[in-house]
Structure 1
């Protein structure tokens, strides 16, 4: 997938865009999906069009129709006819489906867990988690070993804008496992751990404590280095703790001076 998706529901979920257009598209998508699920009350068949649209939308998210069929527990042949018709018999796409089939397919959501391993998505949260672990003293070699990943691929991943869904899932599991542990106590030699922390600081990577769980994946969020970042007080704390002043604190100080 390309990084230049148009604003809408797909960009909201796969690139974590939270602009008004994407947020509204996501709300519309959820409302339409809820209404479509309610069609399961129709007997003995329901309109196939909402189901077809949902399967196509899943495809836009990187969940192909064959994977959607597997996740829903329905036949691939049935989903193929839903989308493309019966080509050998020259029949058009299915117009009606059984309610239970509709509910199973509509129940497949465009979530990280349902994406195929090779699906390429936004790497913001992955970068931040890995960089924060390095800041804590976990060496890149040790993190690569634990993922497991080739050291060269890891070096690209830790700064990449786009990553595969399997890498995102692996990184989240690793982060949840390591963020509270002391790397030296866990077996990382003291000198390499200290070197890792220096590298992270020199590159401006944010520590674990600078990120809230609900913001670390948001591309528009910034790390809160001081607990007051984005306010004039934040700049003062930056200077006192000798942490380079972040852009939100710099902007807040400029606005205070201009007021």
Structure 2
């Protein structure tokens, strides 16, 4: 009672628990046959070098991705990652030199993307700022953007002044940007006056619209927009109308 739960029937239960049921026996026979075939053809590789895995774990750590999160994303035991990095001090063993190929592949596949980072991980606000500014330069009023994000106007203004945000916020803004960057705000409840105010405010602050950015550049600190004043396609008819009105006056 209260001990380790029983393993599922298969190779591990055959080897570790001595189960000799049909399922475990078949799994063991299949494993041994595959192993023997691999040895015969010179492809048997039960272990691989742990060095690349260790280096990758350190890179993920430098990207603010902790071992607990890496283990969860890779689907491996955190203690095994600790053994790769630090060994087992309680046993007097150094960091592992070899690991199973499946574990190596699982860890090396983990990248420090926003989706893989924890929701409360702190990251640069650059991409978040650029997306919100681009929506403003497209004519979306800040008040409406704040409502769609579930924020107050004060929280929205404060966000635009912060150097860092948490991943959860960055993901929410990225999702909203993906929904709105190509939409005409006036087709979604924004009146002409609010639309014009948003455009004028964005221009006065030098904010660049979505057309000025490549998606992959939005989060790069050193990236720059194509132009300081890239015209929105929604503005073209209005600009032509104003020009015609001037010509007639």
Question: Same-fold call, TM > 0.5?
Answer: yes
**1:64 Cα offset (Å):** 0.8
Whether the 8 Å contact between 1:56 and 1:65 is mirrored in structure 2 is no
Alpha carbons of structure 1 residues 212 and 95: separation in structure 2 relative to 1, 3 Å: closer
Shift of the 42–58 alpha-carbon distance from structure 1 to 2, 3 Å rule, reads farther
Find the structure with the greater CA-based Rg.
2
Structure 2 counterparts to residues 1-259 of structure 1, below 5 A: 43-218=45-220, 219-225=222-228
Gaps of 5+ in 2: 1-42, 231-242, 244-249
Alignment TM-score, normalising by the size of structure 2: 0.66
Q: What secondary structure sits across from 1:152 in the alignment? A: helix
Do 1:137 and 1:194's aligned partners in 2 also have CA atoms closer than 8 Å?
yes
Deviation at 1:191, TM superposition (A): 3.0
CA–CA separation in structure 1 for the residues paired with 2:169 and 2:45: 43
Deviations 1:67-126 (A, max 9, x none): 111111111121122223324434332232111111111111232332222223333222
Give the Å deviation of 1:159.
4.0
Q: What TM-score do you get using the length of structure 1 for normalisation?
A: 0.64
- Structure 1, unaligned runs of 5 or more: 1-40, 228-240, 242-259
In 2, the alpha carbon distance for the partners of 1:200 and 1:225 equals 11
Encode CA deviations 1:40-64: one digit per residue, 9 max, x unaligned. x772212222211111111111111
Q: Runs of at least 4 residues of structure 1 off by over 4 A?
A: none
Q: How many residues align?
A: 188
SS at match of 1:114: coil
Deviations 1:199-246 (A, max 9, x none): 21222212233323343334331341467xxxxxxxxxxxxx9xxxxx
- Taking the aligned partners of 2:189 and 2:210, their CA distance within structure 1 comes to 20
Aligned-partner SS, 2:185: coil
Q: 1:222 to 1:84 in 2, by over 3 A?
A: same
